[in-house]
Amino acid sequence: MFQLNEKIAVITGGGSGIGKAVALLFAKQGAEVHIIDLNEDACQAAVTEVQQAGGKAFAHLCDVTDQQQVKTNFSKIGKVDILVNSAGVSHVGNVESTTESDFDRLYKVNVKGVYNCLQTAVSIMKKNKSGVILNLASVANNVGLQDRFAYSMSKGAVYAMTLSVARDYIHEEIRCNCISPARVHTPFVDGFIKKNYPGKEDEMFEKLSKSQPIGRMARPEEIANLILYLCSDEASFITGCDYPIDGGFIKLNN
């Protein structure tokens, strides 16, 4: 079950965190993996790790906010069976403290970047009358989070785009779903804590971990497992859905 043999998968933000975990798992399950990332070193390192594990992977240096770069890279890849939109950035602040440049940056990466990849991938998938798209949303599009104004805006847009694509292309045999993770222990989290809470790293890590009722953050590999299922043939009857993977955050955190 959950084999991806002969599937060609494109993973944005695949150089680190959740995207990297997805790339490693997809390759293990037989997919040819194309990693798109803005960080050339991280992108190549992820490809090397996949190859050393016996998988097939290729690196693509690409800024997802640039539509022409996206189209050029997808054209080089050719056929696309699976797209995982994992590239994204975060921001801490309420509506008053969020500057115009902050807002624009979140919009460009988390909304326009997803749009660019969706538009390009769908046009390719239509020709083959098949395809699977998985977008990374967030618990932030399900509940109100303190000081996450711009981030919540962007992830709400991802959720809405997921529903729209699922509905518009259901008769083209293209499935589109999203998942909504709570906090995941990635290099971003470590960097955020180090930057904003110097000297209190352990204390803040513990506090952030316990904000999930389950008592810890998710591991990227756990998120990748759900993504694998939703992108596999075993999930062929699922489209237009959002799957929380949040350690009980949405339903139990009250």
DSSP run (H or E) holding 160:
helix 149-168
What is the rounded average pLDDT of the residues 221-250?
98
CB atoms under 10 Å from CB of 234, counted, come to: 13
* Chain centre distance of CA 158: 10
- pLDDT digits 0-9 by tens, 115-168: 999 999 999 999 999 999 999 999 999 999 999 999 999 999 999 999 999 999
**Span of 164-173, 185-194, 198-207, 218-227 with lowest mean pLDDT:** 185-194
pLDDT over 70, % of the chain: 100
Average pLDDT, the chain: 96
Structure-token pair, residue 116: 């660019």
- Identity of the amino acid at 206: E
21 has pLDDT over 80:
yes
List of residues 6+ apart from 52 with CB closer than 8 A: none
Q: Which domains does the chain have, with CATH numbers?
A: 8-182+220-244 (3.40.50.720), 184-217 (no CATH)
Q: Three-class SS of residue 225? A: helix
Residue 254 — very low, low, confident or very high, per pLDDT cuts 50/70/90? low
Q: Three-class SS of residue 80? A: coil
Residue 83: closest CA among 27, 158, 10: 10
Q: Residue 151 catalytic?
A: yes
- Identity of the amino acid at 28: K
Please give the Cα distance from 125 to 135 (Å, whole number): 16
pLDDT over 90, % of the chain: 94
**Span of 5-9, 35-39, 43-47, 197-201 with lowest mean pLDDT:** 197-201
Please give the Cα distance from 73 to 70 (Å, whole number): 5
Residue 109: closest CA among 71, 163, 141, 154: 154
Residue 191 — very low, low, confident or very high, per pLDDT cuts 50/70/90? confident
Please give the Cα distance from 10 to 74 (Å, whole number): 9
192 has pLDDT over 90:
no
Residue 5 — very low, low, confident or very high, per pLDDT cuts 50/70/90? very high
Catalytic residue among 107, 115, 151, 243: 151
Q: Is 105 exposed, middle or buried (0-12, 13-18, 19+ CB in 10 A)?
A: middle
Report pTM: 0.96
